[in-house]
């Protein structure tokens, strides 16, 4: 990984921590897949855009309805638990 890519990832991580008021280091708890039968969503202010069958990194189990996740483009956001399947 180049120095430029490393700095970009660090910047994205800092923005994530500020936006979601996340304290501590970012660690992946597990990976889950978006249900292939779910409808695709564009995402919003704090919601992650969803694509069918996409595998997401789980950062935090926030509550009974949502999970804080990261996608393959290193974008962070909330995802409804109803559309997530364990791997």
| Domains of the chain and CATH, by start | 5-86 (2.30.30.40)
Q: How many helices (H) and strands (E) does the chain have?
A: 1, 5
Query: φ, ψ for residue 69 (rounded to 5)?
Result: -130, 170
The predicted model gives 53-59 an average pLDDT of 92
pLDDT at 1 over 80: no
Q: Residue 82, SS3?
A: helix
The answer to whether 49 touches 43, Cβ cutoff 8 Å, is: yes
Q: What is the rounded average pLDDT for all residues in the chain?
A: 88
Q: Which residues contact 4 (CB under 8 A, 6 or more apart)?
A: none
The pTM is what?
Answer: 0.84
β-bridge partners, 86: 32
């Amino acid at each position: 990984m180049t120095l430029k890519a490393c700095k970009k990832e660090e910047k994205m991580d800092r923005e994530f921590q500020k936006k979601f008021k996340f304290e501590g280091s970012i660690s992946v708890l597990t990976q889950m897949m978006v249900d292939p039968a779910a409808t695709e969503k564009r995402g919003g202010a704090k919601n992650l855009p969803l694509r069918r069958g996409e595998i997401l990194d789980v950062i935090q189990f926030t509550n009974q309805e949502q999970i804080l996740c990261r996608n393959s483009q290193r974008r962070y956001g909330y995802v409804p638990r109803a559309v997530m399947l364990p791997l």
